[in-house]
Amino acid sequence: MPITITATLLNSADPQPVRIALAGTAAGQAFTVRATTADGSSWSVPGGVGVSVGEQVLLTDNRTALNSVITYQAVVDGVAYAAAPVTVASAAVAVVQTIDGLSVVPVDVASVTEPRSPRVRASVFDIAGRRAPAARLDVPGSYQYTWMLETEIAESVQLRRILESGRPIVRRMASGVRDFDPVVMGIVLDWSDELLTDGYDTWRRWTIKVREISDPQPSTPLTAYTWVDFDSAMADRVWSYHSLMASTSGWTATGGTLSQQTSGGYNTPAFLRVTASTASTAASLVQSSTASAAATLGEAVVAGGVYTVTVRLKGTAGRQGQAAIRWSGGTTAVGTPVTLTGSWQLASVTATAPAGTTGLAPGAQMLATGVAVGNVIDVSGPTVSKGATVPVGTFDELFAMWDAFDAADWVQY
């Protein structure tokens, strides 16, 4: 499966966050993800340093440069992959925010000279009887900046709250403003502020001393909690048929007659039943189309990819049932059989898509051994997920196609 990286804008904040999807990495592969602008400025992406578990990596960047063309690049085992550029538009000249982005305030830049000085950590020591001192050498420390910013009324209150929080802050602005770094993260060392005039205006100037720092948690992706983020992150996912099985439409039975039962499904009212029509013959149920899973997973089904189908099964006591995956090429993979009873139980199958695969369909079957005419297999709660993890728990059973939807899909602000 080829490695790809894509970047898309989310819609729930100003400035907009960017969601980055890194797909195709194998378990155990190390990766780093960074963002760059045309002038060479660069910054780390939250959660952008890690080791793949073999599933899609979803990250969110809410520390971007403003009004600049941004290219996200992933380096996986020493090989670089780049996403198509995106631009984060903003009406603000610059913003200051807490490191998690929960508080953001637009500011004006009052000085474009931006005094800064590195912390020199080399030392010299005079020694009696020697003209030249002994030296302790070290690389210089990060810059200490003096920012001069201006705000008015509500923005002044917001900025004061951010500074008083004692948390790291981030200044974001457009790239190409002289030689300013468009994204700087730092610890506030000191600040002062004053009203600009003796009159009645409310413009306030802030002088803020900041020591630049690196991301203190480079392997921790951002999380979020707003429904707009949820809708944006899941806009390309399709999942309704996984939960309801509202009719027999879109499903195909072989070796028996297909019917819908309107009550008693696993956590849903309806489920589907296949009634065996021939003795000693397998009876199966499979989704008719192999094209739906790509939308469900949020990415294409490809040869070499690992996929898991889960179903809930019950039926004629003593018969054997198993989950199944039908590939677009016509072959079928099946899971470990379970013995059917009158109660729902989990069955699953994990398989690697064969060469030429472009899609898959979930399904289940009752094995031929011991089957008599009129025996039944009932199927409920089918799910499709990427990777080898078998979803557990009611939420995951109904929404297992969201296997890639984890903390990285959300964004904090």
What's the rounded mean pLDDT across residues 192-207?
90
111-170 per-position pLDDT tens digit: 989 999 998 999 999 999 999 999 999 999 999 999 999 999 999 999 999 999 999 999
CATH of the domain at 255: 2.60.120.260
Q: Is the pLDDT of residue 31 over 90?
A: yes
Q: Is the pLDDT of residue 373 over 50?
A: yes
According to DSSP, the residues that pair with 339 across neighbouring strands are 320
Domain limit, last residue, from 189, 204, 235: 235
Q: Is 305 contained in some domain?
A: yes
97-114 per-position pLDDT tens digit: 999 888 999 999 999 899
Q: Tell me the average pLDDT of the chain.
A: 87
Token readout for 140 is: 């210089």
Q: Is 389 contained in some domain?
A: yes
Helix (H) or strand (E) holding 242, with range, is helix 240-243
Question: Residue 185's pLDDT band (boundaries 50, 70, 90)?
Answer: very high
What's the rounded mean pLDDT across residues 290-302?
73
Please indicate, yes or no, whether residues 358 and 341 belong to a single structural domain of this protein: yes
Please indicate, yes or no, whether residues 250 and 347 belong to a single structural domain of this protein: yes
Q: Is 136 contained in some domain?
A: yes
Angstrom distance (rounded) from CA 102 to CA 270: 42
CA distances from 286 to 111, 342, 351, 372, 400 (A): 67, 21, 16, 21, 18
**Cα end-to-end distance, the chain, whole Å:** 34
Domain count of the fold of the chain: 3
What's the rounded mean pLDDT across residues 371-375?
97
Q: Is the pLDDT of residue 188 over 90?
A: yes
Q: Is 413 contained in some domain?
A: no
pLDDT of residue 411: 41
Q: Is 284 contained in some domain?
A: yes
| Structural domain boundaries, residue 299 | 240-408
Angstrom distance (rounded) from CA 195 to CA 239: 55
Please indicate, yes or no, whether residues 205 and 225 belong to a single structural domain of this protein: no
Q: Specify the amino acid at residue 75.
A: V
78-113 b/e (C-beta count within 10 Å ≥ 16 → b):
eeebebeebebebebbbbbbbbbbebbbbbebeeee
Please indicate, yes or no, whether residues 252 and 384 belong to a single structural domain of this protein: yes
pLDDT of residue 229: 55
Please indicate, yes or no, whether residues 226 and 266 belong to a single structural domain of this protein: no
According to DSSP, the residues that pair with 377 across neighbouring strands are 274, 315
pLDDT of residue 385: 81
- Cα–Cα nearest to 16, from 55, 52, 70, 58: 70
Please indicate, yes or no, whether residues 230 and 245 belong to a single structural domain of this protein: no
Find the Cα–Cα–Cα–Cα dihedral 212, 218, 221, 222, rounded to 10°.
-10
Please indicate, yes or no, whether residues 207 and 259 belong to a single structural domain of this protein: no
Please indicate, yes or no, whether residues 122 and 203 belong to a single structural domain of this protein: yes
Please indicate, yes or no, whether residues 385 and 256 belong to a single structural domain of this protein: yes
pLDDT of residue 391: 63
Angstrom distance (rounded) from CA 386 to CA 33: 22
Percent of the chain with pLDDT over 90: 66
Token readout for 330 is: 């016509």
Please indicate, yes or no, whether residues 277 and 300 belong to a single structural domain of this protein: yes
Q: Is the pLDDT of residue 235 over 50?
A: no
Q: Which residues are CB-neighbours of 213 under 8 A, at least 6 positions away?
A: 142, 168, 185, 186, 187
What's the rounded mean pLDDT across residues 399-406?
41
Q: Is 85 contained in some domain?
A: yes
Residue count of the chain, please give it: 413
Q: Is 254 contained in some domain?
A: yes
* Residue 15: cis peptide before it, omega within 30 degrees of 0: yes
pLDDT of residue 269: 84
Under 8 Å between Cβ of 151 and 89: no
Other CB atoms within 10 Å distance of the CB of residue 65: 27
CATH of the domain at 156: 2.40.30
Q: Is 271 contained in some domain?
A: yes
Q: Is the pLDDT of residue 238 over 50?
A: no
Helix (H) or strand (E) holding 161, with range, is helix 154-164
Answering whether pTM is above 0.85, one says no
Please indicate, yes or no, whether residues 198 and 275 belong to a single structural domain of this protein: no
pLDDT of residue 102: 84
258-290 per-position pLDDT tens digit: 999 999 988 778 899 999 999 999 999 999 998
CATH of the domain at 15: 2.60.40
Please indicate, yes or no, whether residues 180 and 125 belong to a single structural domain of this protein: yes
Token readout for 218 is: 């480079």
Specify the residue for token string 């468009």: 182
| CA atoms 291, 293, 296, 299: torsion sign | negative
303-349 per-position pLDDT tens digit: 998 988 889 999 999 999 999 999 999 999 999 999 999 999 999 99
Angstrom distance (rounded) from CA 101 to CA 105: 10
Backbone angles phi, psi at 402, to 5 degrees: -90, 25
